[in-house]
Structure 1
Amino acid sequence: MEYYKNELCVTYEELTSGDDPVIKESTLKLNVFRKNIIRAHRGGGEGSCALFVYSSLREKYKARYVAKYGDPEEVLKLQRMRDRVKIDEKARDFYETFKYDMNGVQTGLSEKLKAEYTLNASVLNALACDLEEKTSKRKMYGNSLSTVWESVAATCENLREIYHHTLPENLPRLREKINRYKKEGYVSLISGKLGNASTLKITKEAGDFLIALKRSRVPVYTDSRIFEEYNRVVSEKGWKPLKSKRSLTMWFARPEIQPLWWDAVYGELSAHQRFGRKHRTELPSRRDTLWYGDGTKLNLYYQDENGDMRTTMVYEVMDAYSEVLLGYYISDHENFEAQYNAYRMAIQVSGHKPYEIVHDNQGGHKRLEKEKGTTEPGFFDLICHVHRATAPYSGQSKTIESAFGRFQSQELNKDWRFTGMNITAKKESSRPNLEFVEENKDKLFTLEELKIHYAEARKAWNEAKHPATGIPRIEMYKKSVNEETDVVTVYDMVDIFWIWTKRPATFTDSGIEITIGGKKLPYEVYERPGVPDHEWRMKNTYRQFHVKYDPNDLRSIRLYWEDNAGERRFERVAEPYMVIHRALQDQTEGEAAFIRQEQEANIRDRIDRQVIAKEIEYAYGVAPEQHGLSTPKMKGVTAEVQRQVDRRTKKYDRDPEELQIGRATKKASLLTWDQLGNNNKVDLRNVAGKL
């Protein structure tokens, strides 16, 4: 899109490109021919393209264009806005070197203030130019000065959306800021609060002493003892004494003082949670935009095989938009296995890949991420566009923890086996009745019964109404559409959920063997069901392969070889190696037939190897027979097998061909006419065979 001869135009490619074009090529050409759509420029030259007047498009085509690319007038307006502001490097240099007095110390501006002031100065430069231009033309357009300022203010707000500057939103204050900037320059943007300190009864030195006492752990000082200790030393330090303990307590409570001692008294994590800025966030508006994954205690007691009362863990994956619990896995540990199976179930239930996954920093997630130093994508990279870890010890930032707390209180809490909420919970209703649980310990779930009950509780949660919409969560999820998420295919399931073995394995005469969960599993490549592929074996026995397998289905594995660039290329699918009974009495009819089949196949392989090898020997003149010797007969085979080898190699039962042209020519000179072929021509390559 662009302006051409003062007309807003869109390009031929914008109108016709893509699987769902704004207008089909044939329809566009027909409308141009009928003059329903105006072509402003034919295009065709280097770097030139056909342009069509946007206003001449029918409304339905305009609507499609806006849906695909946005309002062209707004887009071009935004582009022009971006072009208006150029970063003022002189302003940056000024703020880099600016110093101010802070409690007697010459201090430079923070990086944040440097960036803020530089950006504001750059925007003010653009606004000042805009003001000057509009002021000079206001009489031409019949505008008043107030209208000019309103236009400048509107430009200021448009630039705020793009650059996030901090100039005043209020028009009178903005006007004052611009006028002052034009007079005083860069210094006018620096806050007058910098370097100003209100009069303190407690000096900086005295304040540091008080903070040191508050932070002391050996010994620990209460506010009363700090008050006494401070007043004890004021005379020798030359400080003013404090009049009351209350004034000291109020001083410690001041916002700028609290962060200096809070961590020593209550812990650094408490200080971080108290003083760290919290985001105000808005949840996604459609499914699969954001998934949360987290492990937590499954808050139901169960009875193990020894009759002891126990609890276990569950790893849950939740859709943030609908609060639907998509996938889970119950185990005693939040490890790779639990996370892998939970995400796998979530993908299978959803049928789509999420756009973003948020998880914590538990060790199992490291195995799901891309390994350093490798080009292979990690598990999360294959599932979603973006994945990230939440800040540790920041439960309030994870929506899933809030939702899971409600799931516990609304669904799991219905059962008397409920373990209670977190031990920090203050409500009595959030705690278990341990006396009752102990009395009825023999009625606790078994682990299998617990899993069934938990699945029912999840189903009830998903079918319950979402607190924000009043619509059942699962209904919200199923009716929502997210065009930017990919449908999961069979190939995706292989790429995502099949796992590489840690090291390559060698395909031997007994197949290829991999170890999974401490158990060795042999596999074979088959031509068709029940028939090993001997032709493939001939070329690949004792070749190393990287192996990919599905942990939940070991009925087949995939073999890959690695090229010189380190890229893995798919070779074949392998299936479990056929195992037969050794004792004849135990063998079935099918096993006996399979044994005979493989015996015959092995004999054919031996014959093929002999014939191929002989062809190579005779081609290069190294066969024993070409030097008056004999190749040993095959051992352990019948005479018929040996005769078959001999028949297939009988064309070599003659003298070796002469490969040197001089000797071949000499022999040709000794030939007589009766020794020539039907065409009476001498083939020097076969002269040796004619003599």
Structure 2
Amino acid sequence: MEYFENELCVTYEELTSGNDPVISGATLRQNIKRGNIRRAQRGGGEGSYALIIYSSLPEKYKIRFVERKGDPEQILKQQRMRDRVKTDDKARSFYEDYRYEMNGVETGLSDKLKAEYTLNASVLNALIYDLEDKTTSRKMLGNSLATLWENVAATSENLRDIYHHTLPENQARLREKIRRYKKEGYISLISGKVGNKSTVKIIPEMGRQLIALRRSRVPVYNYAQIFDEINRIALEKDWKPLKSKRSMVQWFERPEIEPLWYDAVFGELAAHQRYGRKHKTKLPDRRDTLWYGDGTKLNLYYRDEEGKIRTTMVYEVIDAYSEVLLGYYISDHENFEAQYNAYRMAIQVSGHKPFEIVHDNQGGHKRLEKEKDSKEVGFFDLICHIHRPTAPYSGQSKTIESIFGRFQSQELHKDWRFTGMNITATKAESRPNLEFIEENKDRLFTLDELKAHYAEARRAWNASPHPATGIPRIEMYEKSENEETDVVTVHDMVDIFWIWAKRPATFTDQGIQITIGKLKKPYEVFSAPGEPDHEWRRKNTYRKFYVKYDPNDLRSIRLYWKDNAGQLRFERVAEPYMVVHRAIQDQMEGEAEFIRREQEANIRDRIERQVIAKEIEYAYGVAPEQNGLSTPKLKGVTKEVQREIDRRTRKYSRDPEEIGLGRTTKKASLMTWDQLKENNEVDYRKVAGKL
């Protein structure tokens, strides 16, 4: 609404907009066409809009307009009054910077007073401008100034209805306020009561002495003793003694005074946590953006095998977005094993790598991080893009501690075996009933029962509503997507969670053996299930390999060799060494057949070794047969085996001389050295040479 050519007008939109308009658009257009309603301005042009002359509206539409929008004349009047008052920014700056002494300390005005004084100054500016304008106009026209201040007072009251200023209602007092304001400026609006609320007068020297007494550790003073001591010192130094201990205590508790003694009384770390600025952070809005990992007390009592009451630890990995407990491991120590297994479970549950992991500074994490100057990729570097420790001694910065605290109070607290919250908790409900627990210790969980109960409590937490959304946490997690996190593949699981053996191991005729903890386990390479790979053995027996294994699944290991550039190359997967019973009576089905096959395979290995070696000898003219000598036959094999070797190596000239190694060895084993010396029947050097 507005005035157009001295006519009060309302817009087309004001009449026709909303669910219950003053008049419908079709009816308005029809009345304009018939001449029942007059239009002051057409709409449709750039920046123009239709204006309807308010006085031309039928009475029923005027009534509707007032009911819905208000009286247009009054609205415009108030609008014009508002336009007359502009906020005085200089006044605002003056009151922001103004300082005065209260209780011996320099301070500023309250926000309420700043706003009140700025508004009053802005209104006074408008009244003074109005006063001077009307005075000039009346003098030019020769009119009387008798009613001038009445008009100023009326304007002030109209502005009070709009702005709620606190200038005097009385005309004489308002006139005096304007006079002082014009003479003294902004300072004239500040109440004389400001700064007169002092209840204790402490001069700077006395204040420093009070702080020194509060910080004193030898001796340590309480407030009553400080009050007595400061008044004793005041008499010596001609200070005005303090009258009230309560006022002195209030002085110590002032925000600008308390930091000067707090560290001496409660410790510097406590002072840092109390006064240090804290970041206000926003939690992630999608899954796997941030994971927290931390170890804490598992707050349930259990009884050990000896019947003693005990507690244990749990390491948890939590998704910050959904508060879902992703992975955990229960053990008595927050060590590498606990952290490794918790993160492994979290990765398996998630199926994705998190973008960021935040953990504490416990020693176990050092093994998960990349070692300084190491070329190897660290455990955390394989899991996520970024990992970092939390700030030390800053519990409030750990979101996981807040989440776990609520998990304890909401789920673990339901069981009577609950150990209670942290010992610093003040609520009685946060403490256990030790008498009841001692009386019923035979009903405490065993360790296995504790683990089962804890797993169920975690499921209940994950299924319960998230406090911010009301949606079950696990549902929030599963329905969320994070396009910047990688899906975990089988190869990723091997790269991340398989561990390198401490040192390389040699593959021997009895396979390759690695030590895991105190357990030694032999492995071998198979070409098919239950079939040792003899072809691979012929090329790799007594070769050193670097071994990688899954500590949670020892059904297979992976063998690697190092090339000349120092890079590890994958060779084969090895599985537990086949074990058969020695006694025929103990042998199970298939073992005898396996033994027979392996004997035949060993014979084939011997044949292959001989054939390859003899072919090389004949190719280079160094075979014994090519030089008038004979190659010994294989021992412990059939004639057919020897014949095959001879056939494949073209050895047909003559049979080698039979030495009878077995009989010679038997005879030598039955002799003693004294017999050999006395009888001189055998030249021991020749015997030893044949052996």
TM-score interval (norm. to shorter): 0.5 to 0.7
For residue 256 of structure 1, report the CA deviation from its aligned partner: 6.2
Structure 1 letter corresponding to 2:486: D
**1:551 corresponds to which residue?**
551
Cα distance in 2 between the residues matched to 1:615 and 1:219: 99
Is 1:301 aligned to residue 329 of structure 2?
A: no
For residue 296 of structure 1, report the CA deviation from its aligned partner: 1.3
SS in 2 for 1:650: coil
Which ranges in structure 1 are unaligned for 5 or more consecutive residues?
1-199, 655-691
**1:464 corresponds to which residue?**
464
CA shift in 2, pair 1:214/1:568, >3 Å: farther
Cα distance in 1 between the residues matched to 2:393 and 2:306: 35
Structure 1 letter corresponding to 2:476: M
1:185-241 deviation per Cα after TM superposition (whole angstroms, max 9, x unaligned): xxxxxxxxxxxxxxx9547xx9988767655544445567678878989999xx885
Say which is worse superposed, 375-384 or 248-257, in terms of deviation: 248-257
**2:427 corresponds to which residue?**
427
Cα distance in 2 between the residues matched to 1:575 and 1:342: 26
**1:639 corresponds to which residue?**
639
Contact 1:318–1:325, Cα closer than 8 Å, also in 2 = yes
SS in 2 for 1:558: strand
**1:409 corresponds to which residue?**
409
Cα distance in 1 between the residues matched to 2:265 and 2:287: 44
CA shift in 2, pair 1:535/1:219, >3 Å: same
SS in 1 for 2:285: coil
**1:291 corresponds to which residue?**
291
Cα distance in 2 between the residues matched to 1:207 and 1:622: 107
CA shift in 2, pair 1:254/1:606, >3 Å: same
Cα distance in 2 between the residues matched to 1:240 and 1:632: 120
1:592-617 deviation per Cα after TM superposition (whole angstroms, max 9, x unaligned): 11111111111111121122222333
1:374-431 deviation per Cα after TM superposition (whole angstroms, max 9, x unaligned): 3222221111111111112222111111111111111111111111111111111111
Cα distance in 1 between the residues matched to 2:437 and 2:224: 47
Structure 2 letter corresponding to 1:311: T
SS in 1 for 2:546: strand
TM-score (norm 2): 0.60
TM-score (norm 1): 0.60
CA RMSD of aligned residues (A): 2.9
Cα distance in 1 between the residues matched to 2:589 and 2:300: 53
1:500-553 deviation per Cα after TM superposition (whole angstroms, max 9, x unaligned): 111111111100111113111110100111111111111111111111111121
CA shift in 2, pair 1:434/1:642, >3 Å: same
**2:574 corresponds to which residue?**
574
Structure 2 letter corresponding to 1:604: R
1:570-626 deviation per Cα after TM superposition (whole angstroms, max 9, x unaligned): 110000000011112222341111111111111111121122222333444443344
Counting aligned pairs with the same residue, the percent is 79
**2:524 corresponds to which residue?**
524
Which structure 2 residues correspond to residues 379-394 of structure 1 after superposition, within 5 A?
379-394=379-394
Cα distance in 2 between the residues matched to 1:315 and 1:228: 53
CA shift in 2, pair 1:273/1:537, >3 Å: same
CA shift in 2, pair 1:642/1:651, >3 Å: closer
Cα distance in 2 between the residues matched to 1:242 and 1:487: 75
Structure 1 letter corresponding to 2:453: H
CA shift in 2, pair 1:613/1:257, >3 Å: farther
Which structure 2 residues correspond to residues 432-581 of structure 1 after superposition, within 5 A?
432-581=432-581
Cα distance in 2 between the residues matched to 1:617 and 1:215: 95
**2:608 corresponds to which residue?**
608
Cα distance in 2 between the residues matched to 1:243 and 1:489: 78
Contact 1:353–1:487, Cα closer than 8 Å, also in 2 = yes
Say which is worse superposed, 217-226 or 292-301, in terms of deviation: 217-226
Which ranges in structure 2 are unaligned for 5 or more consecutive residues?
1-201, 655-691
SS in 1 for 2:595: helix
Cα distance in 2 between the residues matched to 1:364 and 1:390: 15
1:313-340 deviation per Cα after TM superposition (whole angstroms, max 9, x unaligned): 1111111111111111222221222212
1:3-52 deviation per Cα after TM superposition (whole angstroms, max 9, x unaligned): xxxxxxxxxxxxxxxxxxxxxxxxxxxxxxxxxxxxxxxxxxxxxxxxxx
Contact 2:497–2:550, Cα closer than 8 Å, also in 1 = yes
For residue 286 of structure 1, report the CA deviation from its aligned partner: 0.7
Cα distance in 2 between the residues matched to 1:209 and 1:534: 91
Contact 2:646–2:652, Cα closer than 8 Å, also in 1 = no
SS in 1 for 2:590: helix
Contact 1:242–1:248, Cα closer than 8 Å, also in 2 = no
Contact 2:234–2:241, Cα closer than 8 Å, also in 1 = no
Contact 1:618–1:652, Cα closer than 8 Å, also in 2 = no
1:83-123 deviation per Cα after TM superposition (whole angstroms, max 9, x unaligned): xxxxxxxxxxxxxxxxxxxxxxxxxxxxxxxxxxxxxxxxx
CA shift in 2, pair 1:345/1:651, >3 Å: same
Structure 1 letter corresponding to 2:387: H
